[in-house]
Amino acid sequence: MAESQSRYSIVERLTDKKLELISAKDKVEEKLEGIKQNILSLGVELEAYKIKAEEDTNRNIEERKADIVQLKDSLAFRNTNKDNRIKAIDLKIAEIDKALKSIESISEASSKEASSP
């Protein structure tokens, strides 16, 4: 009977050890499954981040394009305005030149009249 108790005791210990190992295996598998899920979740987050970053980049590019168009329009307006102002100044200079020539003509005429007796 002692021999059967000894076998029973060995079987019991081996069975307990087997159950512990099965439990440990299940925990490892659960942990691995959790890690897999975490990796999948991080992958989804990474893709969402990439899409958002691309959208932000595209939006920034579009905003920059709009800024450039606005600056070009502003520059064109200023150039037109500058050209108009230069034309106006040139016209004023031409009028002054005419006036100076008239004065010069009058001066020459009056100088000739004064020198002729």
Per-residue model confidence (pLDDT) at position 8: 79
Per-residue model confidence (pLDDT) at position 2: 67
DSSP state, 109?
H
Residue with tokens 């230069």: 86
pLDDT one-digit tens code per residue, 34-90: 999 999 999 899 999 989 988 888 888 888 888 889 988 888 888 888 888 889 999
DSSP state, 1?
-
Q: What is this structure's pTM? A: 0.42
Q: What is the mean pLDDT of the chain?
A: 87
Per-residue model confidence (pLDDT) at position 84: 87
Cα torsion through 73, 76, 77, 78, rounded to 10: 120
- Report whether pLDDT(100) > 70: yes
